[in-house]
């Protein structure tokens, strides 16, 4: 086992410093060290996207990033998405359109969708389906997730 | 007298009410099992077999045990002193199955030793440091080969690897003797038939793949002698019963909790070895322990579904009337029987009557052990397999006779006036009205338009086909006579001070939205706002009794129990209300719940608010004669029968001529699940079911090589349906209520997986019919389709 490494990561707007094992995955740093358990682990091969967070504004699968690689970065998780008491339009869209059932894939799915809408504020249905194809959902058949993202896109366009 | 201010409350049953579960889930605030942390908690990791079949010669745990931070390393043989063989829930004979293998391993992934350590990473390191020496035995992989004399056997006492053999036929099972009646009529039907269909079909092995892997936290409190188990389970009460028995405890010493559960799909019904091991090792280590499955472990050790081979024969007249069915089913159940393993394939034969009048049926079932992961329920659990075999065969018959697939089904439907309908397999379909559902599906899909579109596409040289299926399934499981765990459900309803309501249900959900639908029902029942109601579930210390959520039973059984308990609580509220209105000589029977009040029907001025009556119930001065204070009632609901929802699915598939890649262009589902509480949630259930059914048809398959090594042990190898693989589904419904529960609701959790699979394969076969293709094995792999095209020279 290697010597612990010092890291400092800005997580949801708050500076977090720790000594970590070099092999510690970012997702485990978030979940175990910071108790931010909204980010989930659904696989071990970067296929399912349940662990998706934003690193410096880009969606990334936090099970495939070592915590030390995120040293100095800004990380946003599902817990940091709502603005005070107000839900992010995507959170609201998922609620309004029944975009979730068991909820396990949902935080990762929402964080992927945040990135999708930042790159393409008015995506077509096909672009949404393509855009979330790095995230697996076993419950919904994706249709209500597509509706949820469309709902959010429309609301964000109005504001 | 007071009349409460406030708006009239809308009725919520039948409305698209958005879910009350969601705010915590969309903000990352829900607590799944892996989110639970207890002081001093240790972590488990399992050393698992990397061979399919072999004798354990030795296990060297010394290197693992010496690692700093490792508390305990224990082998299966050592653990067997603390945990006996695992119980199963079926009456079939079964070999001993230990949580951790004691002397022999029978599938890749079977645990052989366990590590308890301070840290999750360290536990894994230590498990990796355990050395196991095996004497390898030949792997048994093909179930048909497994049954041949001379094949290696997995278990002593199970000759030719056969676990279960059953047979019935002729004009059905005699319910008195449970014996098949004279079945010479079957042979006669096939001899006299104008046309025969014969096909061998594989309903392939699938991995359920709930997005949340399994996991368990166990805390044994020494001194108090009390065990708490948190587990990603569909049925905490069954977990409590079985873990108590395995630990030598009474149910009064065990609390089982299903926290937020990230999907189940049947694979979280079984109570697994890891759950027992966690409980036992918490007691042994004197500390709480946690085990969380990783995805590869899930592919190796969480139960698989399906894997039935069918030899299917249909006999018919030239006008399309079906005159007989023969089905010989071989179920590859894997290495062991777990909770419901042996029962699942029996549902296949039971449901193979489908929606048709079948004069004679012969059914043979053989369940076979192989060196693979054990099978158990997977969404639909036996019904998708049976309906796949039947609906493929009926489609082949239509093609043989050049009949429209809709019309051949219509011709053989059980007519609406024959319900309740007794099938050849001994079931009694509660209610049904198939023709309107078929007609609606044809209309919604524009079947004639689809045929024209297909023909136009073919004229352009494209390979396009249309498919249709009509299913019936069994839900609302079920009477206790047919469910090994008991088939009832339990609910409690308490009216709290201030007129708020807390209800409990034993139907422990994992995505079904019961907190919403059950609250809708109570809101209407008591005419109070949704916000005034809390639905509790999943914790055996809060929910007194329960069975669980499987077999689409939440509404049909759990909902019925809820309404029964609400009825009792409501009666008591009316009695207290009448006692408060003695000056007006009001009888409880005259009272109704209306907009937050309890009032004389049609006379809102004669009323008390729901809240003031609730307050009175807890300070009843004077206590009305013959009454106890408080309002907290409970009910067990025992259904008199299962329910039998049905539906028609229609699809269109295109296959790329150059690559063989299939594309689902259209998917229409018209389902009838009886009365609907929340159409938004029902749509979601159907969508999810469709995706899984389509996944089986097009993408998914658990593959083992000839040595019993799993080839598909990650999402890199096992193809899950993704958003871009699926079209927007078109849904509609018909409503045929069931008479077997007061709600008229039948259940909808599994419908989508049952109709869609044969529907999509039927469409693919239709697409390749011009190439002379009559059947295609699932999944519809591009390579498989490309070969079929090439075998015909690439030209239709």
pLDDT in tens, A12-57: 999 999 999 999 999 999 999 999 999 999 999 999 999 999 999 9
pLDDT in tens, B428-472: 999 999 999 999 999 999 999 999 999 999 999 999 999 999 999
By 3-state DSSP, what share of chain A in percent is helix, strand and coil, each rounded to 5? 40, 20, 45
Residue to substitute from A45, A85, A90, A141, interface B, most B β-carbons within 10 A: A141
B723·A23 Cβ contact <8 A: no
Q: State residue B3's pLDDT score.
A: 43
* A141 contact B CB<8A: yes
- Angle made by CA atoms B617, B621, B625, in degrees to the nearest 5: 80
Report how far residue B5's alpha carbon sits from residue B783's, in angstroms, rounded to the nearest whole number.
Answer: 69
For residues A137 and A109, the answer to whether their CB atoms sit within 8 Å is yes
Across the range B214-222, mean pLDDT stands at: 98
Domain boundary (A80, A113, A139) is at A80
Judged against a pLDDT cut of 60, whether residue B6 lies above it is answered with: no
Distance from CA of B337 to the nearest CA of A (A): 26
Q: State residue B9's pLDDT score.
A: 84
Distance from CA of B232 to the nearest CA of A (A): 12
A144·B684 Cβ contact <8 A: yes
Write out chain A residues lying below 8 Å of B22, CB-based.
94-95, 100, 103
For residues B430 and B611, the answer to whether their CB atoms sit within 8 Å is no
Residue to substitute from B19, B22, B258, B755, interface A, most A β-carbons within 10 A: B22
Across the range B560-583, mean pLDDT stands at: 96
B723·A110 Cβ contact <8 A: no
A103·B294 Cβ contact <8 A: no
Residue among A47, A96, A139 whose CB faces B715 most closely: A47
Quick one: which of B476, B59, B36, B528 has its CA closest to B289?
Answer: B36
> HSE (CB half, 13 Å, CA atoms) of B687?
28
Q: State residue B1's pLDDT score.
A: 35
B184 falls in which pLDDT band (50, 70, 90)? confident
Both tokens of B32, joined, read 């799944």
Quick one: which of A145, A100, A111 has its CA closest to B723?
Answer: A145
In the three-class reduction of DSSP (H, G, I as helix; E, B as strand; rest coil), residue B663 is classed as strand
Residue among B31, B262, B723 whose CB faces A133 most closely: B723
CA closest to A104 among chain B residues: B262
Both tokens of B200, joined, read 């061998």
Q: State residue B7's pLDDT score.
A: 62
Across the range B420-431, mean pLDDT stands at: 94
In the three-class reduction of DSSP (H, G, I as helix; E, B as strand; rest coil), residue B456 is classed as helix
Residue to substitute from B26, B45, B667, B722, interface A, most A β-carbons within 10 A: B26
- The answer on A111 and A59 residing in a single domain is no
Q: Which residues of B60-92 are buried (b: 16+ CB within 10 A; e: fewer)?
A: ebeebbebeebbbbbbbbbbbebbeebebbbee
pLDDT in tens, B586-609: 999 999 999 999 999 999 999 999
Report how far residue B546's alpha carbon sits from residue B575's, in angstroms, rounded to the nearest whole number.
Answer: 29
pLDDT in tens, B742-759: 999 999 999 999 999 999
pLDDT in tens, B462-499: 999 999 999 999 999 889 988 888 999 999 999 999 99
B530 DSSP assignment: G
Write out chain A residues lying below 8 Å of B692, CB-based.
138, 141
Both tokens of B239, joined, read 């977990």
- For each of the domains in chain B, give its residue range(s) and CATH number, in order of start: 22-30+488-637 (3.30.365.10), 33-137+213-261+268-301 (3.90.1170.50), 383-397+404-477+642-791 (3.30.365.10)
- Angle made by CA atoms B774, B777, B778, in degrees to the nearest 5: 135
- The answer on A71 and A11 residing in a single domain is yes
- The answer on A56 and A18 residing in a single domain is yes
Write out chain A residues lying below 8 Å of B512, CB-based.
101
- The answer on A75 and A45 residing in a single domain is yes
Report how far residue B608's alpha carbon sits from residue B593's, in angstroms, rounded to the nearest whole number.
Answer: 10
B715·A132 Cβ contact <8 A: no
Judged against a pLDDT cut of 90, whether residue B675 lies above it is answered with: yes
Report how far residue A7's alpha carbon sits from residue A30's, in angstroms, rounded to the nearest whole number.
Answer: 13
- Helices B434-445 and B447-459: crossing angle in degrees, nearest 10, is 40
pLDDT above 70 as % of chain B: 97
A48·B211 Cβ contact <8 A: yes
Write out chain A residues lying below 8 Å of B19, CB-based.
95, 98
- The answer on A44 and A109 residing in a single domain is no
Write out chain B residues lying below 8 Å of A137, CB-based.
211, 723
- The answer on A64 and A28 residing in a single domain is yes
Both tokens of B222, joined, read 């020494």
Report how far residue B100's alpha carbon sits from residue B47's, in angstroms, rounded to the nearest whole number.
Answer: 9
Q: Which residues of B565-585 are buried (b: 16+ CB within 10 A; e: fewer)?
A: bbeebbebbbbbbbbbbeeee
Report how far residue B104's alpha carbon sits from residue B102's, in angstroms, rounded to the nearest whole number.
Answer: 6
B687·A87 Cβ contact <8 A: no
Write out chain A residues lying below 8 Å of B30, CB-based.
38, 103
pLDDT in tens, B272-283: 999 999 999 999
Phi and psi dihedrals of B646, rounded to 5?
-150, 175
What is the domain extent for residue A119?
89-158
Q: Report which of residues B611 and B5 the model is more confident about.
A: B611
For residues B540 and B505, the answer to whether their CB atoms sit within 8 Å is no
B179 falls in which pLDDT band (50, 70, 90)? low
Judged against a pLDDT cut of 70, whether residue B174 lies above it is answered with: no
Provide DSSP, A43-59.
-SSS-S-TTEEEETTEE
Report how far residue B760's alpha carbon sits from residue B780's, in angstroms, rounded to the nearest whole number.
Answer: 9
B4 falls in which pLDDT band (50, 70, 90)? very low
Inter-CA distances, B459 with B357, B405, B453, B455, B456, Å: 38, 22, 10, 6, 5
- The answer on A97 and A68 residing in a single domain is no
Judged against a pLDDT cut of 80, whether residue B551 lies above it is answered with: yes
Q: Looking at residue A118, which CATH number applies to its domain?
A: 1.10.150.120
Both tokens of A132, joined, read 């979330």
CA closest to B718 among chain A residues: A47
Tally the domains of chain A.
2
Q: Which residues of B408-423 are buried (b: 16+ CB within 10 A; e: fewer)?
A: bbbbbbbeeeebebeb
B211·A137 Cβ contact <8 A: yes
Tally DSSP H helices, then E strands, for chain B. Answer: 20, 30
Quick one: which of B560, B525, B509 has its CA closest to B685?
Answer: B509
Report how far residue B417's alpha carbon sits from residue B429's, in angstroms, rounded to the nearest whole number.
Answer: 12
SS3 sequence of B621-653? CCCCCCCCCCCEEEEEECCCCCECCEEEEEEEE
Write out chain B residues lying below 8 Å of A81, CB-based.
27
- The answer on A55 and A10 residing in a single domain is yes
Judged against a pLDDT cut of 70, whether residue B135 lies above it is answered with: yes
Both tokens of B92, joined, read 């079939």
Both tokens of B398, joined, read 């239509």
Mean of per-residue pLDDT scores for chain B: 95
Domain boundary (A21, A45, A80) is at A80
Phi and psi dihedrals of A14, rounded to 5?
-120, 135
Report how far residue B391's alpha carbon sits from residue B685's, in angstroms, rounded to the nearest whole number.
Answer: 22
In the three-class reduction of DSSP (H, G, I as helix; E, B as strand; rest coil), residue B501 is classed as strand
Both tokens of B3, joined, read 């009349």
SS3 sequence of B120-140? HHHHHHHHHCCEEEEEECCCC
- The answer on A21 and A69 residing in a single domain is yes
For residues B231 and B256, the answer to whether their CB atoms sit within 8 Å is yes
B176 falls in which pLDDT band (50, 70, 90)? low
Across the range A77-83, mean pLDDT stands at: 96
Judged against a pLDDT cut of 60, whether residue B307 lies above it is answered with: yes
Q: Looking at residue A49, which CATH number applies to its domain?
A: 3.10.20.30
Q: State residue A3's pLDDT score.
A: 87
The answer for residues whose C-beta is within 8 angstroms of residue B257's C-beta and 6 or more apart is B228, B229, B230, B231, B236, B538, B539, B540, B541
The answer for residues whose C-beta is within 8 angstroms of residue B503's C-beta and 6 or more apart is B491, B492, B493, B494, B518, B519, B522, B533, B534, B535, B536, B562, B565, B566
Report how far residue B312's alpha carbon sits from residue A45's, in angstroms, rounded to the nearest whole number.
Answer: 40
Between A and B, how many CB-CB pairs are < 8 A? Answer: 179
Distance from CA of A87 to the nearest CA of B (A): 8
Report how far residue B121's alpha carbon sits from residue B512's, in angstroms, rounded to the nearest whole number.
Answer: 34
Residue among B121, B511, B720 whose CB faces A136 most closely: B720
A100·B22 Cβ contact <8 A: yes
Judged against a pLDDT cut of 80, whether residue B173 lies above it is answered with: no
Quick one: which of B471, B488, B448 has its CA closest to B648?
Answer: B471
Residue to substitute from B25, B508, B696, B713, interface A, most A β-carbons within 10 A: B25
A29 DSSP assignment: I
A44·B714 Cβ contact <8 A: yes
Partner residues linked to B58 by β-bridges: B133
Judged against a pLDDT cut of 70, whether residue B719 lies above it is answered with: yes
Q: Which residues of chain A from 60 to 119 reach within 8 Å of chain B, CB to CB?
A: 77-79, 81-82, 87, 91, 94-96, 98, 100-107, 110
Judged against a pLDDT cut of 60, whether residue B172 lies above it is answered with: no
CA dihedral B582, B583, B588, B589 (to 10 degrees): 150
Domain boundary (A49, A80, A111) is at A80
B151 DSSP assignment: S
Provide DSSP, B47-73.
EE-SSSSEEEEEEE-HHHHTSTTEEEE
Q: Provide Rg for chain B, Cα atoms.
A: 28
- The answer on A9 and A71 residing in a single domain is yes
pLDDT above 90 as % of chain B: 93
* A11 contact B CB<8A: no
B527 falls in which pLDDT band (50, 70, 90)? very high
- The answer on A110 and A44 residing in a single domain is no
pLDDT in tens, B323-354: 999 999 999 999 999 999 999 999 999 999 99
Write out chain A residues lying below 8 Å of B690, CB-based.
141
Q: State residue B726's pLDDT score.
A: 98
Write out chain A residues lying below 8 Å of B69, CB-based.
none
- The answer on A93 and A154 residing in a single domain is yes
A38·B209 Cβ contact <8 A: no
A138·B30 Cβ contact <8 A: no
* A144 contact B CB<8A: yes
Phi-psi region of B575 (alpha: psi -120 to 50; beta: other; left: phi over 0): alpha
The answer for residues whose C-beta is within 8 angstroms of residue B93's C-beta and 6 or more apart is B163
């Amino acid at each position: 086992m290697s010597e612990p490494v010092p890291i400092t990561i800005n997580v949801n707007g708050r500076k977090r410093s720790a000594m970590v094992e070099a092999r510690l995955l970012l997702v485990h740093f978030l979940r175990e060290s910071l108790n931010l358990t909204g980010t989930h682990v659904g696989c071990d091969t970067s296929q399912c996207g349940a662990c998706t967070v934003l690193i410096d504004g880009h969606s990334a699968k936090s099970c495939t990033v070592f915590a030390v690689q995120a040293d100095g970065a800004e990380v946003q998780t599902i817990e940091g998405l709502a603005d005070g008491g107000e839900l992010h339009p995507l959170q609201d869209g998922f609620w309004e359109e029944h975009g979730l059932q068991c909820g396990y894939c949902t935080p990762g799915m929402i964080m992927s969708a945040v990135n999708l809408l930042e790159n393409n504020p008015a995506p077509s249905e096909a672009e949404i389906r393509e855009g979330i194809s790095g995230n697996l959902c076993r419950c919904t058949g994706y249709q209500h997730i597509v509706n949820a993202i469309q709902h959010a896109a429309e609301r964000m366009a109005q504001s | 007298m007071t009349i409460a201010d406030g708006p009239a409350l809308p009725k919520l049953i039948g409305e698209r009410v958005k879910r009350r579960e969601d705010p915590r889930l969309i903000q990352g605030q829900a607590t799944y099992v892996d989110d639970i942390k207890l002081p001093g908690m240790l972590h488990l990791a399992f050393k698992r077999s990397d061979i399919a079949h072999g004798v354990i010669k030795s296990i060297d745990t010394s290197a693992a045990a010496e690692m700093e931070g490792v508390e305990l390393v224990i082998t299966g043989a050592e653990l067997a002193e603390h945990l006996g063989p695992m119980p199963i829930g079926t009456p079939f004979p079964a070999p001993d199955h230990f949580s951790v293998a004691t002397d022999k391993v029978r599938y890749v992934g079977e645990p052989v030793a366990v590590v308890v350590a301070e840290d999750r990473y360290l536990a894994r390191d230590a498990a990796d440091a355990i050395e196991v020496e095996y004497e390898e035995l030949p792997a048994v992989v093909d179930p048909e080969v497994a049954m041949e004399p001379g094949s290696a056997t997995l278990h002593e006492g199970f000759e030719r690897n056969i676990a279960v053999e059953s047979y019935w036929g002729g004009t059905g099972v005699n319910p008195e003797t449970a014996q098949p009646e004279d079945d010479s009529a079957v042979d006669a039907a096939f001899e006299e038939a104008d046309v025969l269909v014969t096909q061998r079909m594989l309903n392939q092995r699938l991995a359920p793949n709930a997005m949340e892997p399994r996991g368990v936290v166990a805390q044994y409190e020494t001194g108090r002698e009390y065990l708490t188990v948190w587990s990603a389970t569909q049925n905490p009460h069954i977990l409590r019963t079985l873990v108590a028995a395995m630990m030598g405890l009474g149910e009064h010493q065990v609390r089982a909790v299903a926290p937020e559960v990230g999907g189940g799909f049947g694979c979280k019904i079984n109570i697994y070895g890891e759950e027992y091991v966690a409980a036992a090792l918490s007691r042994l280590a004197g500390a709480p322990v946690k085990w969380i499955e990783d995805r590869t472990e899930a592919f190796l050790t969480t139960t698989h579904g399906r894997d039935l081979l069918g030899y299917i024969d249909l006999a018919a007249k030239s006008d399309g009337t079906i005159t007989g069915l023969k089905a010989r089913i071989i179920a590859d159940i894997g290495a062991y029987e777990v909770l419901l393993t042996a029962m699942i394939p029996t549902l296949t034969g039971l449901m193979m009557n489908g929606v048709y009048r079948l004069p004679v049926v012969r059914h043979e079932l053989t369940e076979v052990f192989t060196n693979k992961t054990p099978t158990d329920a997977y969404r639909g659990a036996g019904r998708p397999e049976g309906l796949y075999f039947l609906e493929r065969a009926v489609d082949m018959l239509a093609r043989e006779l050049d009949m429209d697939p809709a019309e051949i089904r219509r011709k053989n439907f059980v007519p609406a006036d024959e319900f309740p309908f007794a099938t050849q397999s001994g079931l009694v379909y509660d209610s049904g009205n198939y023709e309107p559902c078929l007609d609606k599906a044809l209309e919604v899909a524009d079947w004639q338009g689809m045929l024209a579109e297909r023909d136009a596409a073919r004229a352009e040289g494209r390979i396009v086909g249309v498919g249709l299926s009509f299913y019936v399934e069994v839900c609302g499981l079920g009477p206790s006579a047919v469910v090994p765990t008991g088939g009832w459900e339990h609910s409690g309803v308490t009216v709290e001070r201030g007129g708020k309501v807390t209800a409990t249900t034993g139907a422990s959900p994992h995505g079904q939205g019961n907190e919403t639908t059950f609250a809708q029902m109570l809101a209407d029942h008591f005419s109070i706002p949704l916000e005034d109601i809390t639905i509790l579930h999943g914790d055996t210390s809060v929910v007194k009794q329960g069975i669980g959520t499987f077999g689409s039973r939440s509404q049909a059984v759990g909902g019925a129990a809820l309404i029964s308990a609400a009825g009792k609580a409501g009666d008591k509220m009316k009695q207290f209300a009448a006692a408060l209105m003695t000056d007006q000589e009001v009888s409880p029977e005259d009272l109704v719940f209306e907009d937050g009040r309890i009032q004389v029907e049609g006379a809102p001025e004669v009323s008390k608010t729901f809240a003031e009556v609730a307050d009175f119930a807890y300070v009843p001065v004077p206590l009305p004669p013959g009454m106890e204070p408080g309002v907290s009632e409970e009910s067990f609901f025992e259904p008199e029968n299962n329910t039998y929802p049905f539906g028609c699915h229609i699809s269109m598939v295109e296959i790329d001529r150059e690559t063989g890649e299939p594309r689902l262009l259209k998917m229409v589902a018209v389902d009838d699940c009886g009365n609907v509480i929340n159409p938004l949630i029902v749509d979601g259930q159907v969508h999810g079911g469709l995706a899984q059914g389509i996944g089986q048809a097009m993408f998914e398959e658990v593959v083992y090589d000839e040595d019993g090594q799993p080839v598909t042990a990650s999402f890199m190898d096992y193809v899950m349906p993704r958003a871009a693989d699926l079209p927007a589904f078109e849904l509609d419904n018909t409503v045929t209520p069931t008479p077997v529960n007061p709600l008229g609701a039948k259940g909808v959790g599994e419908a989508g997986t049952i109709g869609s699979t044969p529907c999509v394969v039927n469409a693919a076969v239709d697409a390749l019919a011009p190439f002379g293709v009559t059947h295609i094995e699932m999944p519809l792999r591009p390579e498989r389709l490309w070969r079929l095209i090439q075998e015909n020279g690439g030209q239709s």
